[in-house]
Structure 1
């Protein structure tokens, strides 16, 4: 009864006050997910043409781009014609700056993300994009027979969530029965407290990084703490690659299925797993292309880089945005009956753990978010040589200033303790043999056995 009150009354009221259209959009998505492939493709093409007309008229960057290319917006005959437009990467977004902001944009929120590429990025998000992302996630949540208002335990590390734990948000979380645990510090003391919090709260669903949830699960298993009797229906994981051993451990300890999600703050909510195992793309809002090393689109079944066009980002467009992740488009339909296209073989980047001087195991994002705060950092790599020695490679967009360096040192020492921190300024940071970027490299083995 309480879940129904939240999902049908309190949360819709919350979204209405925030001027979000997520409630109506979720209803539309729950209908369109059953449309056949041709009808979904027609909807996507119509939205794409409307999107192109919009950004060509109101976004200076794309107004100039269409003119330079000699293209008439809004006249694509197929979605594949989007390949006539250039790829968008973080460097292009940084260089374009305010030229990517629509002249008719409503209120926009500034987001910072370095992602796992190690390249900090600032971009703007409007209410339309937020509404679509909320609706897509909400739809996927309901696939697992849980809803907004069911007890949710979140293990997360974004400063957007952690810095806004004011009374109003605490009240909202209490009403919606959502509890947040920070994923930054994962010491034995914290893990013991997390276990106690989870048992006390008895959530219906879990949400978090796969590395963090698996670490909690491993601690519970090592200490013979029963977590299988809480009635947890599903554990949603996202933001990192989900490994099979993590999935098996989380499922075993919490006695629930693990639902994988793929996306990001920049690219949006891209795909989510249904109970039958298919990673369904939110195709009503997002166009996913797979490209080879030369930027050429690849057919379904072939692995390449994931490129995303989010059709609800007209106020600050993401068009053919390079995620840096590897995957392929599925060649078959999911047995669940939904005709949403599938994403397979996702090789998203992974986030390492690091060890503080006092032995605390910490999520690497605790350091990454420090660097994300600095707009003059173009690229970075954190190398933990030992428990007491860390190197930081920095590629700067502008001249080095003492205030930025002091900021980095102060925050790194707050998190890592009394260590030697060497900051090295370089012009380029080499990639791995695979061509992917590893933004954190730890040479310190993490010991899971706390006994």
Structure 2
């Protein structure tokens, strides 16, 4: 870690920043640093204890779960093991959308409004309390330190969420400057911009990169094509998340930036679920998150057997996620990791990918640049974006009764702002979005090569 500055930021400025925001991040982080070295049996006992307390609290304070537990005759205090959790039904985006008000805990503090990225084609609006945010930030920092870097080390972030890109007020700029974080927009991957990004990375010489695997690998390939050396900067690690990481993407990033790639699995709704350690294992943040793998019939899959990942986040008491269906398919490992941490391991993650979209002028954009146009429209239940050519994009929508001509006009206008004013945007209303032959749902399909 770099000199005296990083310890100053990570040990003083960052804890002060979190305390001023009303977060308990530092206390949670200290507990996580200790608990990761417990045995698998000790961590499971901790999970059960926390699960019992969590379910008792939401059964008392959250109207939705108070009624559900009464209907099922479910007593959280009688929970003896993780298997007892399966007495409760799973929940998905539809259940959350239909019960948003009743999922708020009575007396909950201020809740922040968030959106999913729409990776399933079904966007979701949900709410997070300060406890959940504190636990997620602490888990992310713990995983960052596995790689010998910390908050305060120079960082380049290649990202594109409107939350990150729209909050560049003075306080945010000052904070990023103090924490030595620089944001580059992943939605604007034109050739000229990628040249500029490479120049910025060379000038900053970051200790770590963070971004979408597709964006970082595209930038790596661009550097190779341009003949720009990026392997002499001392970058220690590239953290990737939000999409499935493919082997060729990992190879491109590692070769060009001369650093290992650390994969992460999670989502805004489900939380930071798993992080990769230097031994190569994706460790589940078991102190806060219970992960189940379910077969299509809803029964538990055995270790080594694939199934849908279902998540219970134990720090969501103010707006609970209990047995939440992620829509992703994964496999739990049969073996512990050689690193010595007792945290359970995800052997494989399947089912996440994001295509690039190519604008009429050749600019390559992350597919999420178009998804964000649709994901926060309440009357959109499902969607799929199909780019047929640089001049034609189809938007397939399953819309509710509140859809209007004004919304349709706004969608076309925003798509053309991103793709080009000459692009034809055809909106098709469907009763349902058909699945791929594989059974998976794709939310962006581009027939144009970047």
Same fold (TM over 0.5): yes
After superposition, give the CA deviation of every residue in 1:412-450 in whole Å (9 maximum; x if it has no partner): 01000021110011110111122211001111122xxxx
> 1:261 is paired with a residue of what secondary structure?
strand
Match of 1:140 in 2: 143
Match of 1:265 in 2: 268
Report the alpha carbon displacement of residue 186 of structure 1 after superposing the two structures with TM.
0.8
Equivalent position to 1:410, from 410, 413, 417:
413
After superposition, give the CA deviation of every residue in 1:62-118 in whole Å (9 maximum; x if it has no partner): 011001111112321001110111011001111112011111211100001143101
The answer to whether the 8 Å contact 1:48/1:74 transfers is: no
Match of 2:278 in 1: 275
Report the alpha carbon displacement of residue 405 of structure 1 after superposing the two structures with TM.
1.2
Equivalent position to 2:371, from 368, 372, 382:
368
Report the alpha carbon displacement of residue 348 of structure 1 after superposing the two structures with TM.
3.4
Give the alignment's Cα RMSD to 1 decimal.
0.8
> 1:236 is paired with a residue of what secondary structure?
strand
Match of 1:427 in 2: 431
Report the alpha carbon displacement of residue 373 of structure 1 after superposing the two structures with TM.
2.4
Match of 1:119 in 2: 122
Match of 1:443 in 2: 447
Q: Distance in 2 between matches of 1:383 and 1:109?
A: 32
Report the alpha carbon displacement of residue 14 of structure 1 after superposing the two structures with TM.
0.0
Q: Distance in 1 between matches of 2:304 and 2:192?
A: 45
Q: Distance in 1 between matches of 2:401 and 2:310?
A: 29
Match of 2:75 in 1: 72
The answer to whether the 8 Å contact 1:431/1:437 transfers is: yes
The answer to whether the 8 Å contact 2:157/2:210 transfers is: yes
Q: Gaps spanning 5+ residues in structure 2: where?
A: none
Report the alpha carbon displacement of residue 296 of structure 1 after superposing the two structures with TM.
1.4
Match of 1:130 in 2: 133
Equivalent position to 1:354, from 338, 343, 357:
357
Q: How many residues align?
A: 446
TM-score, normalization: structure 2?
A: 0.98
Equivalent position to 1:311, from 314, 317, 324:
314
After superposition, give the CA deviation of every residue in 1:353-382 in whole Å (9 maximum; x if it has no partner): 011111111110000011122111111000
> 1:400 is paired with a residue of what secondary structure?
coil
- In the alignment, does 2:241 pair up with 1:238? yes
The answer to whether the 8 Å contact 2:124/2:376 transfers is: no
Q: Distance in 2 between matches of 1:146 and 1:61?
A: 42
- In the alignment, does 2:59 pair up with 1:52? no
Report the alpha carbon displacement of residue 185 of structure 1 after superposing the two structures with TM.
1.5
Q: Distance in 2 between matches of 1:311 and 1:445?
A: 42
After superposition, give the CA deviation of every residue in 1:102-159 in whole Å (9 maximum; x if it has no partner): 1121110000114310101000000000000000000000000000000010000111
Equivalent position to 1:13, from 7, 11, 16:
16
Q: Distance in 1 between matches of 2:139 and 2:286?
A: 10
- In the alignment, does 2:305 pair up with 1:302? yes
The answer to whether the 8 Å contact 1:378/1:397 transfers is: yes
> 1:105 is paired with a residue of what secondary structure?
coil
Q: Distance in 2 between matches of 1:165 and 1:356?
A: 26
Match of 1:186 in 2: 189
> 1:43 is paired with a residue of what secondary structure?
helix
- In the alignment, does 2:95 pair up with 1:92? yes
The answer to whether the 8 Å contact 2:125/2:376 transfers is: no
Q: Distance in 2 between matches of 1:175 and 1:90?
A: 38
The answer to whether the 8 Å contact 1:221/1:253 transfers is: yes
> 1:74 is paired with a residue of what secondary structure?
helix
Report the alpha carbon displacement of residue 404 of structure 1 after superposing the two structures with TM.
1.3
Report the alpha carbon displacement of residue 335 of structure 1 after superposing the two structures with TM.
0.4
Match of 1:449 in 2: none
> 2:231 is paired with a residue of what secondary structure?
coil
Q: Gaps spanning 5+ residues in structure 1: where?
A: 447-451
Bigger CA drift: 293-302 or 397-406? 397-406
Bigger CA drift: 68-77 or 410-419? 68-77
TM-score, normalization: structure 1?
A: 0.98
Q: Distance in 1 between matches of 2:170 and 2:233?
A: 28
> 2:383 is paired with a residue of what secondary structure?
strand
> 1:100 is paired with a residue of what secondary structure?
coil
> 1:98 is paired with a residue of what secondary structure?
coil
Q: Distance in 1 between matches of 2:418 and 2:256?
A: 30
Match of 2:84 in 1: 81
Report the alpha carbon displacement of residue 397 of structure 1 after superposing the two structures with TM.
2.5
Match of 2:212 in 1: 209
Q: Distance in 2 between matches of 1:273 and 1:133?
A: 15
